[in-house]
Structure 1
Amino acid sequence: MLQRYKNILVPVDGSHESELAFKKAVAVAKRNGDDTNLYLVHVVDTRAFQNISSFDTAMVEQVTETAKKTMDGYANQAKEQGLKNISYSVEYGAPKAVIAKDLPEEKNIDLIMIGATGLNAVERLLIGSVTEYVTRTADCDVLVVRTDLENKPALNKKDKRK
């Protein structure tokens, strides 16, 4: 029996690793058929704004606008490759909880495809990686993407720019 996923969640944060996860998720969604839903999410970590004494809503709006443009680009790429059911959102909160619990429950996600690491190396050192948390706590399947579409490791920055 072939496992078919109906609702695939891909968190994207602008990192090379999240882009690899996106590309592989598109390939998986295409293989799973026209009724597969690809759901992209960018989570704005609101904790990053808590320490700013002169909190400015314009800053949040700018971050949100940038994220929406990025998400539009990803959605267009998926459509160009023949996917029909693509949606995205920009969420606010703790990325770990949003990706591992909130969205999978809300969207009936049966597969999360996530990059091995994201942009925030400091958070990873201090409080642990989002990917590690998601793999431990999500109730659905989680695929950690470490390679490109040819299954070659994405190890050095020179290769990442291709």
Structure 2
Amino acid sequence: MLQQYKRVLVAVDGSKEAESAFQKAIQVAKRNEGSLGLVHVIDTRAFSSVANYDTSMADKATEYADELLNGYKDDALKQGVTNVETYIEYGSPKTAITKEAAKAFKADLIMCGATGLNAVERLLIGSVSEYIIRHSPCDVLVVRNEDPVYKDDK
């Protein structure tokens, strides 16, 4: 029997890879007449020590996340997805996506880009997408932005 994903959660951070995952998530949600969840995680670890002195950083990050998610939501609605929910999470993107957002949305599929905006974290402690694959409560689809290397092979 063919798996139909009715609750597709996609992690977005403004990167090209997240945009690719978002566009594919729209197609999956439409094809299965499902719901689309959009999650953006504000990595509070990046400015936790500064936030003690300047709370405007957290406010600006939340404002950016809200604008980003609303833009994605409007795009998904224009493309024909009828049910779109947005989530702003705080903390480590790895755990926020797999634990909080996936549970709150009741996701049966998580989609994410192969890489995101945080190259430093990826080098030091592993990628967010790798963590999602290993710890997700549901199926995961990692979307690559590049053309396949074999496309010119004949």
TM-score relative to the length of structure 2: 0.91
Ranges in structure 2 where 5+ consecutive residues have no aligned partner: 150-154
Does structure 2 retain, via aligned residues, the 8 Å contact 1:6–1:37? yes
**Aligned-residue offset at 1:104:** 1.6
Partner of 2:17: 17
**Aligned-residue offset at 1:52:** 2.3
**Aligned-residue offset at 1:89:** 1.7
C-alpha spacing 1:53/1:76, structure 2 compared with 1 (3 Å): closer
Partner of 1:46: 44
Ranges in structure 1 where 5+ consecutive residues have no aligned partner: 155-162
Partner of 1:77: 75
**Aligned-residue offset at 1:55:** 3.1
Deviates more, 1:107-116 or 1:139-148: 139-148
Partner of 1:63: 61
The answer to whether 1:109 aligns with 2:111 is no
Task: Give the AA of the match of 1:130.
Answer: V
Does structure 2 retain, via aligned residues, the 8 Å contact 1:147–1:153? no
Q: How far apart, CA to CA, are the structure 2 residues paired with 1:53 and 1:42?
A: 19
**Aligned-residue offset at 1:50:** 2.0
Match runs of 1:78-93 below 5 Å: 78-93=76-91
Does structure 1 retain, via aligned residues, the 8 Å contact 2:40–2:88? yes
Q: How far apart, CA to CA, are the structure 2 residues paired with 1:122 and 1:102?
A: 24
Does structure 1 retain, via aligned residues, the 8 Å contact 2:115–2:127? yes
Task: Give the AA of the match of 1:63.
Answer: A
Task: Give the AA of the match of 2:104.
Answer: E
Q: How far apart, CA to CA, are the structure 2 residues paired with 1:38 and 1:109?
A: 9
Partner of 1:28: 28
Match runs of 1:79-158 below 5 Å: 79-147=77-145, 152-153=147-148
**Aligned-residue offset at 1:53:** 7.0
Q: How far apart, CA to CA, are the structure 2 residues paired with 1:121 and 1:24?
A: 23
C-alpha spacing 1:82/1:53, structure 2 compared with 1 (3 Å): closer
Q: How far apart, CA to CA, are the structure 1 residues paired with 2:54 and 2:19?
A: 30
Count of aligned pairs: 149
Q: How far apart, CA to CA, are the structure 2 residues paired with 1:153 and 1:145?
A: 12
Q: How far apart, CA to CA, are the structure 2 residues paired with 1:45 and 1:86?
A: 23
Q: How far apart, CA to CA, are the structure 2 residues paired with 1:113 and 1:52?
A: 32
Q: Percent identical across equivalent pairs?
A: 55
